[in-house]
Amino acid sequence: MSVAALVEANRHTIVLMQSSPNRATRTFMDYGSISQAMDGICGLYERKLKEINPTIQNITYDISDLYNFIDGLADLSALIFDHSIQAYLPYDRLWIKHRMFQHLKRLASQ
């Protein structure tokens, strides 16, 4: 594993999400790395798909479907720990979509 990959793997990530305009739907998810956070967001979407399509065994989707899910959330952002300044830095929905693409591309090439 490269040094960059090790640093990336060790960046505590908090995903802040609000699924609808109702403020009561605000929640957060806590992950040990950016990669785990991206997997977590995919998992949310996959659970939503299973909820909507309970009789379908194998559900498939592409990146545009995932982006539509992300865009359909009232709010989505991430706080990622930066060891160099010992603080969390905020990242927006657009950044999450960009990282998601990189993450899925990396997984597909393995």
d(CA 67, CA 96) in angstroms, rounded, equals 10
Residue with tokens 């991206």: 38
pLDDT at 7 over 70: no
Q: Domain limits of the chain?
A: 3-105
What is the per-residue pLDDT across 76-101, written as a single tens digit (0 to 9) for each? 999 999 999 999 999 999 999 999 99
pTM above 0.85, yes or no: yes
Kindly report each contact of residues 22-25 with a partner whose C-beta sits within 8 Å and lies 24 or more positions away, as own/partner: 25/74
pLDDT at 65 over 70: yes
Superfamily per CATH, domain 3-105:
Enhancer of rudimentary (3.30.2260.10)
The beta strand positions in the chain, using DSSP E, are 13-18, 26-31, 75-82, 87-91
